[in-house]
Structure 1
């Protein structure tokens, strides 16, 4: 669960308004002094000089800053555990940047399916009620009995 939050924070830190490219070469991380607000204001595709060093070392203070932004607390052991994992994650983003997408045609995506006709949502009565009740493990009167999934007293 922790790594998902950190990935979300990294993605937020690296996204550029109006751009689909990341400005991170392989093995680099955002500078420690970045906040997401500053990043959105000060960075554009022409200002990639802050990422020129491919040997940027992800420091424990970077991990703590990400944890703070994700509203999670990490022990010193967890900081040391996540430091190399986050460094590797930054490297993966750098590898994604190297992929040439200029020759790739746009794919079918959920946001461009708006013109597909949908079937009409009409209720259809179920004809073989006895077969349905015969297929379930437990029945109580005219109802199918299922296990409880919610606790009575939520604490």
Structure 2
């Protein structure tokens, strides 16, 4: 998917395959148009000057543990003991002693 050429029908088919989606012949061009529109919007955003905008990687720094207008706060990140693995595995319907066993739900 090169930036200049945009998304091709082949790209749409590959992404659909990877996402395990079955697109009809009518849906493929619509998906191509939508994906190219999204990439166009992203290109517009990339043109914005953000050099004076501070990064907001950690919302917790903004909240800082104080109460806000809706009453939300962030809890302190404290290490606490976890559940006992043997007790959890003993209560599981099926396990190998280390992991839960679950039925396969996705088939290709």
TM-score by length of 1: 0.37
Task: Give per-residue Cα distances to partners, 1:99-146, cap 9 Å, x unaligned.
Answer: 11101234595343574145xxxxxxxxxxxxxxxxxxxxxxxxxxxx
* Runs of at least 5 residues in structure 1 that lack an aligned partner in the other structure: 1-29, 32-50, 119-155
Counterpart of 1:76 in 2: which secondary structure? coil
Could you tell me how far 1:74 is from its partner in structure 2? 0.7
Task: Give per-residue Cα distances to partners, 1:76-111, cap 9 Å, x unaligned.
Answer: 111022111111111111111111110123459534
Relative distance call for 1:109 and 1:73 in structure 2 (3 A) is same
Task: Tell me whether 81-90 or 98-107 shows the greater mean CA deviation.
Answer: 98-107
- State which structure, 1 or 2, has the greater radius of gyration over its C-alpha atoms: 1
Q: 1:87 matched to which residue of 2? A: 36
d(CA) in 2 for partners of 1:111, 1:66: 35
TM-score by length of 2: 0.50
> Between Structure 1 and Structure 2, how many residues are aligned?
69
Task: Name the Cα RMSD after superposition.
Answer: 3.0
* Runs of at least 5 residues in structure 2 that lack an aligned partner in the other structure: 67-72, 74-108
Higher RCO structure, 1 or 2 (CA under 8 Å, sep 6+) = 1
Counterpart of 1:80 in 2: which secondary structure? helix
Relative distance call for 1:58 and 1:107 in structure 2 (3 A) is closer
